[in-house]
Structure 1
Amino acid sequence: MRSTGALHLGHYHGVLKNWIKLQHEYECYFFVADWHALTTHYDEPENIENHVWEMLIDWLACGLNPGSCSLFIQSRIPEHAELHLLLSMITPLGWLERVPTYKDQQEKLKERDLATYGFLGYPLLQSADILAYKAGYVPVGEDQISHLELTREVARRFNFIYGKEPGYKEKILAAIQKMGAKNADLYNEAKKQYQESGNENALDRGRALVMAQNNLSLGDQERLYGYLEGSGRIILPEPEALLTQNSKFPGLDGQKMSKSYGNTIAIREDAESITKKIKTMPTDPARIRRSDPGTPEKCPVWSFHKVYSNQETQAWVQEGCTTAGIGCLECKKAVSDVVIEEQKPILERAQQYIDNPKLIKEIVREGCESARAVAKETLEEVRDVMGLPHRDR
């Protein structure tokens, strides 16, 4: 997560609950992306460090366990930056410009100057974040699939360029020549269509052409399949998406909860503030008077009930609202009570880290050591295949 401010209930229900579950199913690495925060908030250095520590407290308070996962800070692992630089040498500029969120974020954040090299390159930094650990899976929502696909393309291109055996090009050309002039032309055209436009039919045609050649050795066949697909020896594995459920948690106004909309409840908000915010939430506009019946589906408060309230309470709200049997303040109080109750253990756990800052720093130190050991191994291999001199060890 980018360290750009206090976490809210949208983060908790949309992301953190899933992370808490995943830490017991996979070897997980979770980091505070302070470099990513600089891509949009580079002019606010006075806030970055505080946001980092506050985010880590939120994570631990919600239930991430340093005994079950690695928690670290991005900028403490210089291998992320080095891999980003090395990958930038082979990544076409057009790949970055076509990432959907690039122009979308520039449009949404017009008040910020985002015409920077760092902002253009942040999807590639994300790729480095993932590939440094040779991740098998990345938990993402639907809106982040394009970023993960870029990572897969970058890994594929890297493997194609640097995952070749000695004399690879000569062996490929010789294998294509064995196919005969007509089949060679068809193979090259299929390769071009697949690699330029992702045409799956072209990929199937190319594979069928190779399979039909009886004069090719098994080694030649494998080389031609890899050349067709644009792949080589796997140095950086292509990660798969671990799709999460729809993470659009409702805000106080019925829109998605977001700091930019000013409709949030913080993960560590105090009870008085929660009560006040929910009490002033808009309701079904048809309920002008206490005696007017309403429709829960038209009321933002109902969205909170669907997340927080049990079936019995939801039935009470449905009956009371549609018959004007209960008032909006009664309905809101039922929500604020359960939100406050859920916050209590989170606030208690958070206080332990607030009172003992050395503890959280020790957790981060250990997490950074664990993460960097893995990233270092990856970078040694990457430097080796790119022909860079080994550092003194």
Structure 2
Amino acid sequence: MFPDRIFSGMRPTGSLHLGHYHGVLKNWIKLQSEYPCFFCVVDLHALTTHYETPDIIEKNVWEVLIDWLASGIDPAQATLFIQSHVQEHAELSLLLGMSTPLGWLERVPTYKEQIEKLHDKDLDTYGFFGYPVLMAADILLYRASLVPVGEDQVPHVEITREIARRFNYLYGREPGFEDKANEAARKLGGKRSKLYHELRNAYQQEGNEEALEQARALLQESQSLLMSDRERLFGYLEGSRKIILVEPQVMLTEASRMPGLNGQKMSKSYSNMIGLRENKVSIEKKIHKMPTDSARARRSDPGDPNKCPVWRLHQAYTNPATHEWVWRICRNAEAGCLECKQPVIDSILLEQQQMLERAQKYIDDSSLLRAIVADGCDKARKLAYETMRDVREAMGISYS
């Protein structure tokens, strides 16, 4: 079995906002100290919808990377790289597309949603229709076992699992597989080999899930196996096929608690966002203009925080004592809305000050950023090369 590894990506559609930070990046910061993490700017995905305006993509790529570093993503812990700089992404997408049924792509929920949402763009293209295959290739190329996503992205991980399962079924049928698996089992040693077969039988004949986990642990601990032998034995546990591509599991992330300036989800599409590195004057102006409870037409009118978008910002940014203060002054009309907004402004500016300080050195010296990306791309290519070597061999196109 391959070690636990995380892959996640982000399209370069422009500078990031606080919704990205609270919904994605804070989770990445936590995960980078717990797992090997590969964070990718998926610029090829940007071309699926912005193929007519490629000039904006390069600028956005570097802005996104600076935002990641500003937020606290650590290149000493996580691998940061650009999708198009690792050519194996495109190659694996092409090869997976050879066996991916059209019906699978047509039923991806976000396909029709994006068509409706981006009605002003011509998305009747092969690239846009096939983007779930490219997304699957992104994950499978690194044999990532865990993919952190929100609920709306779960279908993309599910189709990735199906694509991996179909690929393993079609191409894991190695000639003489069972004989090779038994030969590999003998390398475990007499007692371990016997235990392996007993656990395999317990799982396959009785459906004993505990036996399956014990067998996997046995293989993981063994130091006497080559990687190819270990892959065969993992595949032999569950059937008669070699595992080439790992079926990833969903790592469900909490929905962002960061609302937009109008109470809706923060999004560039809704023009209701605060940028991750926005300047102080702009932030103050935006929050001062935020709508509040319409019942508070005058300062002396009592209001209801539950009907006010500013209250949702308090929930994301201020402490319980401030929350009590907000409820009191709003319900009793003890203070005006501008006064209520000030603690939110102060908290956002304090958070952003750290981000601005982290970002400045990369803005001042772009070679630092490019060095981080070059190193990340090198690390990504090494894993991608190993995967593609096995994929080409399995598909019969590794000529020697």
| TM-score class normalised by the smaller sequence | 0.7 to 0.9
> For residues 2-48 of structure 1, what are the alpha-carbon distances to aligned partners after superposition, in whole Å with 9 as ceiling and x for unaligned?
00111000000000000000000000000101000111111111110
User: Does the Cα contact within 8 Å between 2:147 and 2:248 map onto a contact in 1?
Assistant: yes
Say if 2:170 is the partner of 1:161.
yes
Aligned to 2:346: 337
Aligned to 2:182: none
User: Does the Cα contact within 8 Å between 2:150 and 2:254 map onto a contact in 1?
Assistant: yes
> For residues 356-378 of structure 1, what are the alpha-carbon distances to aligned partners after superposition, in whole Å with 9 as ceiling and x for unaligned?
10000000000000001000000
In percent, how many aligned pairs have the same letter? 60
Report the aligned-residue RMSD.
1.9
SS across alignment from 1:83: helix
Say if 2:371 is the partner of 1:370.
no
Instruction: Spell out the pairing of 1:291-310 with structure 2 (5 A cutoff).
Output: 291-310=300-319
Letter in 1 for 2:358: R
User: Does the Cα contact within 8 Å between 1:70 and 1:367 map onto a contact in 2?
Assistant: yes
Which of 134, 158, 173 is equivalent to 2:143?
A: 134
User: Does the Cα contact within 8 Å between 1:248 and 1:257 map onto a contact in 2?
Assistant: no
Q: What TM-score, normalized to structure 1? A: 0.83
Aligned to 1:315: 324
Which of 150, 155, 158 is equivalent to 1:149?
A: 158
Partners of 2:377 and 2:236 in 1: CA distance:
39
Partners of 1:60 and 1:106 in 2: CA distance:
32
Instruction: Spell out the pairing of 1:117-132 with structure 2 (5 A cutoff).
Output: 117-132=126-141
Partners of 1:140 and 1:40 in 2: CA distance:
21
Letter in 2 for 1:136: S
Letter in 2 for 1:29: F
* Residues 1:356 and 1:210: Cα distance change in structure 2 (over 3 Å): closer
How many angstroms does 1:341 deviate by? 1.1
* Residues 1:239 and 1:223: Cα distance change in structure 2 (over 3 Å): closer
SS across alignment from 1:90: coil
Partners of 2:243 and 2:237 in 1: CA distance:
16
Aligned to 1:10: 19
How many angstroms does 1:161 deviate by? 0.4
Partners of 1:21 and 1:76 in 2: CA distance:
26
Partners of 2:337 and 2:270 in 1: CA distance:
23
Partners of 1:165 and 1:32 in 2: CA distance:
35
Partners of 2:66 and 2:42 in 1: CA distance:
15
SS across alignment from 2:298: coil
Letter in 2 for 1:269: E
User: Does the Cα contact within 8 Å between 1:4 and 1:41 map onto a contact in 2?
Assistant: no
How many angstroms does 1:83 deviate by? 0.2
Partners of 2:362 and 2:236 in 1: CA distance:
55
Partners of 2:283 and 2:206 in 1: CA distance:
66
Structure 1 alignment gaps of length 5 or more:
170-206, 212-221
How many angstroms does 1:81 deviate by? 0.4
* Residues 1:70 and 1:168: Cα distance change in structure 2 (over 3 Å): closer
Aligned to 1:29: 38
How many angstroms does 1:315 deviate by? 0.8
Letter in 2 for 1:134: R
Say if 2:287 is the partner of 1:282.
no
Say if 2:58 is the partner of 1:49.
yes
How many angstroms does 1:333 deviate by? 1.6
* Residues 1:289 and 1:210: Cα distance change in structure 2 (over 3 Å): closer
User: Does the Cα contact within 8 Å between 1:380 and 1:390 map onto a contact in 2?
Assistant: no
Partners of 1:92 and 1:40 in 2: CA distance:
22
Q: What TM-score, normalized to structure 2? A: 0.82
Letter in 2 for 1:293: P
How many angstroms does 1:390 deviate by? 3.9
Aligned to 1:80: 89
Say if 2:270 is the partner of 1:254.
no
Partners of 2:85 and 2:259 in 1: CA distance:
34
Aligned to 1:64: 73
How many angstroms does 1:165 deviate by? 3.3
Say if 2:103 is the partner of 1:94.
yes
Partners of 2:83 and 2:360 in 1: CA distance:
25
> For residues 246-302 of structure 1, what are the alpha-carbon distances to aligned partners after superposition, in whole Å with 9 as ceiling and x for unaligned?
125200000000000000000000000000000000000100000000000100000
SS across alignment from 2:245: coil
Aligned to 1:178: none
How many angstroms does 1:166 deviate by? 2.1
Aligned to 1:176: none
Partners of 1:102 and 1:156 in 2: CA distance:
22
Aligned to 2:217: none
Which of 111, 123, 128 is equivalent to 1:114?
A: 123
Partners of 2:322 and 2:169 in 1: CA distance:
58
* Residues 1:347 and 1:210: Cα distance change in structure 2 (over 3 Å): closer
SS across alignment from 2:251: strand
Partners of 2:67 and 2:142 in 1: CA distance:
24
Instruction: Spell out the pairing of 1:341-352 with structure 2 (5 A cutoff).
Output: 341-352=350-361
Letter in 2 for 1:112: K
